[in-house]
Amino acid sequence: MNDKNINLKLARVAKDLSQDQLAELVKASRQTINLIETGKYNPTIELCLRICWALDKSLDELFWKNKEDLNNAN
């Protein structure tokens, strides 16, 4: 996995939240949020849901990958 999550970062910035603030909302560390945004950590579905709820986004909007995206990553 080394695919940056730009959608997550954009949604966080649109809510005017720092990584620290989002981490506090979702009960994670700032380092975890940073690793997710940089594509170095694959979060659990529970953490994905908490992030989505905090940012008023769906799983599809923040975490969904198309088949073509996955094929191009390899």
Q: Coil, strand, or helix at residue 44? A: coil
Q: Which domain holds residue 27?
A: 6-66
Residue 20, domain member (yes or no): yes
First to last CA, the chain: 9
Please check the confidence at residue 1 and state whether its pLDDT lies above 50: no
Nearest CA to 33 among 17, 20, 52?
Answer: 20
CATH number at residue 59: 1.10.260.40
Contact between 16 and 45 under an 8 Å Cβ cutoff? The reply is no
Residue 18, domain member (yes or no): yes
Residue 1, domain member (yes or no): no
Greater confidence (4 vs 45) lies with: 45
Nearest CA to 35 among 9, 69, 11?
Answer: 9
Rounded distance between C-alpha atoms, residue 8 and residue 33, angstroms? 9
pLDDT at 3: 72
Residue 71, domain member (yes or no): no
* This prediction's pTM: 0.84
pLDDT digits (tens, 9 = 90+) for 19-63: 999 999 999 999 999 999 999 999 999 999 999 999 999 999 998
